[in-house]
Amino acid sequence: GRPAGGLDPQQQRGTASMFFYTVPEGQRVLATDQNGKIEVIEGPARVLRWGKRFQPMKHYVAHPGDFLVVRFRDGRQEHLAGPAHCWFDPRTHLSVEAEEAVQIADKEAVVVYAEAAGEGASVNRRIVRGPATFVPGPGEWLHTFSWHGPAGDGTYRKVPNALIFQKLWQMPDQMYHDVEEVRTADDAQLTIRLMIFFELRDIERMLESTHDPIGDFVNAATSDVVE
């Protein structure tokens, strides 16, 4: 399985004798001398222990479909798309962790926001369409949609914020909707069950026109049925 947080579990610790410290092949350690100077020693190596303190370095790995979030002590941040790896160096790194990239299938899309460089700069928006593996850059985030969806009570009523997601589906689709307590001209009470067919073709137009198109469909259809 995927290692937790991207930390490589296959780490071999160095061995120490009376005079020497041995670093295995494929490993790295931080050697700190009496003056506080730190040196990275890459295995295979055998070094004198006198006046030195040794600390194994943590190794982080991102496989295809993952990426490493590397945060630096100077405030910078880098995202390394897998396959990639990083040795944690406390002199420069604040934290390293692995996250899953966003897998976007064909006929799917995500809306990405990014902070423009410079003080007081605006936020830019772009659309990423599949098929693709999306790795957000530093300062980027995905739009989270919150639409009307099924009430979950066995009916086809729609309630606000029942659908929360980040991937838009651009294929023809349909949904059921119950319009309850509809009265006829002779005062009979009915529940009208609708099937609504729709297709998302213009994402930019949708973003500029509504924050909940399913809610708009439901409200408009309910108004027409009641009338």
Please state, for a pLDDT cut of 90, what percent of the chain lies above it.
Answer: 67
Query: Can you give the pLDDT at residue 172?
Result: 93
DSSP 115-128: EPSSTT--EEEEEE
Q: Supply the mean pLDDT for the chain.
A: 90
More confident residue, 132 or 5: 132
**Which residues, including other chains, have CB under 8 Å from residue 61's CB and lie 6 or more apart?**
3, 6, 8, 82, 84, 85, 98
Mean pLDDT along residues 118-146:
90
Mean pLDDT along residues 45-66:
93
Helix, strand or coil for residue 206? Answer: helix
Mean pLDDT along residues 209-213:
93
Cα dihedral angle (91, 92, 94, 100), rounded to 10 degrees?
-130
Query: Can you give the pLDDT at residue 118?
Result: 65
In the structure, what pLDDT confidence band is assigned to residue 184 with cuts at 50, 70 and 90?
confident
Q: Nearest 5 degrees, angle CA 173-CA 179-CA 180?
A: 150
Query: Can you give the pLDDT at residue 1?
Result: 52
Query: Can you give the pLDDT at residue 142?
Result: 96
Helix-, strand-, coil-residue percentages of the chain, each rounded to 5: 10, 50, 40
- 173 burial via Cβ count (<10 Å: 0-12, 13-18, 19+): exposed
Query: Can you give the pLDDT at residue 182?
Result: 83
More confident residue, 220 or 186: 220
Query: Can you give the pLDDT at residue 119?
Result: 62
Task: Give me 106's structure tokens.
Answer: 């064909």
Query: Can you give the pLDDT at residue 181?
Result: 81
What whole-number distance in Å separates Cα of residue 197 and Cα of residue 205? 19
Q: Which long-range contacts (CB under 8 A, 24 or more apart) does 195-198 make?
A: 196/221, 197/172, 197/173, 198/172, 198/173, 198/174
Query: Can you give the pLDDT at residue 183?
Result: 82
Measure Cα distances from 105 to 108, 110, 168 in Å.
5, 10, 10
Between 71-85, 105-119, 160-174, the lowest mean confidence (pLDDT) is in 105-119
Task: Give me 81's structure tokens.
Answer: 């798309």
More confident residue, 151 or 137: 137
Helix residue ranges per DSSP H, the chain: 203-209, 213-226
Helix residue ranges per DSSP H, 16-143: none
Residue 120 has pLDDT above 80, yes or no: no
Mean pLDDT along residues 90-100:
95
Task: Give me 133's structure tokens.
Answer: 């593996």
Query: Can you give the pLDDT at residue 205?
Result: 94
Residue 213's nearest CA partner among 157, 152, 168, 179 is 168
CB 101 within 8 A of CB 81: yes
Query: Can you give the pLDDT at residue 54?
Result: 93
pLDDT tens for 140-172 read: 999 999 999 888 777 788 889 999 999 999 999
